[in-house]
Amino acid sequence: MNKPLMAKATAVWLVDNTTISFRQIADFCGLHELEVQGIADGDVAAGVKGFDPVANNQLDQIEIDRAEQSPTHKLKLKYNAAAVGEEKRRGPRYTPLSKRQDRPNSILWLVKFHPELTDGQISKLVGTTKPTIQSIRERTHWNISNMQPIDPVALGLCKQTELDAVVQKAAAKRATEGDVMTDDERRKLVSTEQSLAAEPEPKIPSSISGLETFTLGGDPRDDDQDPIVDADSFFNLPDKESDEDEDEDDNR
């Protein structure tokens, strides 16, 4: 622990009971200097009760005296053996209450678009339990009919870099196991940076056999095709009167 407990309340106590500069208090409590100045002006932390760091075994009085005498002195947090290793403690990812209702939708998105991810990876990514993931996979979740797949990055449940790292890890593991992936699965395993840098795929196939010889009039080398009729021949029709004279000569 590099910062005191109840940092803002500690800053309130130091502002009210010492002559330490705002910068020294800000560095010790992990706050901004303007925020400490706002505490002194009454604009920030209004109604917050001060927390005595000396009485709570977080700061020595000697440190306060040195800081009051020297504006460049930095307050040092008192060593506490019980707090050693506190930052390294691991646990399930915390999800805010406002986003917990959207968590099943993100699980459905991961199950649908990244089926290569294991239940453990999804659990660590969005902070859920394996029974919940299993119920969504088997579509036995109580609210499955009202659920819609939503990207967990868009919901703020994880970062894009975390999602890409998990997907790449799953792809590497699947490659070592020798599983054959389809083209759709390979596209899903590509990271966001690679997919944005890739060239767009053609929507119309351009390498179909025989497509380059296809014309509106057919292939002239094909003997079964009808001959191409010249459009000008329709305007050079024989004269009607000359046809009638020929018919009279034949009758005679």
Give residue 57's region: left, alpha or beta (phi > 0; psi -120 to 50): left
Condensed to tens digits (0 to 9), the pLDDT of residues 126-138 reads 988 899 999 999 9
DSSP assignment letter at 177: H
| CA 49 distance to own-chain centroid | 40
Condensed to tens digits (0 to 9), the pLDDT of residues 180-201 reads 555 555 555 555 555 555 565 5
Mean pLDDT of the region 103-111: 93
- The reply to whether the predicted model has a pTM over 0.85 is no
Cα distance between residue 219 and residue 139, in whole Å = 55
Give the pLDDT band of residue 22 (cuts 50, 70, 90).
very high
User: What is the pLDDT, as a whole number, of residue 215?
Assistant: 47
Cα distance between residue 194 and residue 176, in whole Å = 22
Average model confidence (pLDDT) across the chain: 76
Cα distance between residue 5 and residue 23, in whole Å = 19
Q: Specify whether the CB–CB gap between 136 and 111 falls below 8 A.
A: yes
Cα distance between residue 166 and residue 124, in whole Å = 10
